[in-house]
Homo-oligomer: A and B are copies of this chain.
Amino acid sequence: MSTSTSEFQLTIEKQMEIVQGVELLNGVEDLYGGITLQMEKPMDSEAFLSALRASISQWIHQGKRAIWVKLPTELVNLVEPAVKEGFRYHHAEPDYVMLVKWISNSTNTIPENASHRVGIGAFVLNDKKEVLVVQEKSGKFKGSGVWKFPTGVVNEGEDIATVAIREVKEETGIDAEFLEILAFRQSHKSFFTKSDLFFVCMLRPKTFDIQKQDTEIEAAKWMALEEYAAQPFIQKHSAFSSVAQVCLTKLEKGYVGFSPVATTSASGKTNYQYVNSRDLHRL
């Protein structure tokens, strides 16, 4: 990419003037024309600003497109100078904020931040056609008397199947094996402006004696699946009655969901793909 027509371009003379006497910042290059500065050592905000300006001049000259600045909480004094230099927030986690500035005159292709939270509901069915249900001590179902599936949040880096097994164990003490995903739901504005994906996972119990967790769980028990599905709250809201119908169909007529298959990506990572294994392997 040529920078000769860039509106951001400084003359060579001007760049040299800025660079002289100012230490440049060291960044890590990525495959998309970006530079990431992982600031770690304490720095005076004036010194940071001078070094940032000089470094950006050089990166523009080199045809770079985006500059990322990662500031750990301890370097909060550098947030204001970065924003005043035209950086905007990209994302933040408890221990840092990431800012970014597009320095090219080509179309801005900075990817958006994570957009979805992911949750699971665990449908654990025993041989007596009973489902594992709980009542929670807090949240929107508190005090409602509704018996619900154990649920949980899938955080970054966690496999859906692993979280389903863990949440069942944590809430009820039951060991279970992951079988398949029966259905999922996408909803919006569930957490600030973020969207939500909720996966209904079927598990086979390997133990049966319930040891409920006391902090979050008011009660836990095995309940006939028909009785679960017949609860007025479940019947009233189609988001719930639809899931109950899927579970009843699974029990009675052989409903097939998506089951996990380990696959390898181009970068060599092992990931789980979820597919209709019955149809895929039918002769």
User: Hey, which bits of chain A sit against chain B, CB under 8 A?
Assistant: 31-32, 73, 76-77, 79-80, 83-84, 88-98, 107, 109, 111-118, 138-140, 153-160, 182-189, 191-195, 197, 215, 233, 237-240, 242-243, 245-246, 249, 253-258, 261, 263-266, 269, 271-276, 279-280, 282
A166 to B276, CA, bound (A): 26
* Interface-centre pick from A32, A111, A187, A237 (highest chain B CB count, 10 A): A187
Q: A114-B191, A194-B156 are in contact. Are A91 and B88 (CB under 8 A)?
A: no
Number of this chain's copies in the assembly equals 2
- The residue from B84, B117, B140 contacting A266, defined by CB atoms under 8 A apart: B140
Task: Report yes or no: A239 in contact with B263, Cβ–Cβ below 8 A.
Answer: yes
Q: A158-B195, A272-B186 are in contact. Are A116 and B113 (CB under 8 A)?
A: no
Beta-carbon nearest neighbor of A112 in chain B:
B155
- The residue from B94, B215, B263, B272 contacting A89, defined by CB atoms under 8 A apart: B94
CB distance from A150 to the nearest CB of B (A): 17
Q: A115-B118, A264-B238 are in contact. Are A80 and B77 (CB under 8 A)?
A: yes
Task: Report yes or no: A279 in contact with B253, Cβ–Cβ below 8 A.
Answer: yes
12 contacts between A and B (CB under 8 A): A111-B191, A116-B117, A140-B266, A156-B193, A157-B193, A182-B276, A183-B274, A185-B271, A188-B271, A240-B266, A246-B276, A255-B276
CB distance from A223 to the nearest CB of B (A): 20
Chain B residues contacting A140 (CB-CB under 8 Å) are 31, 266
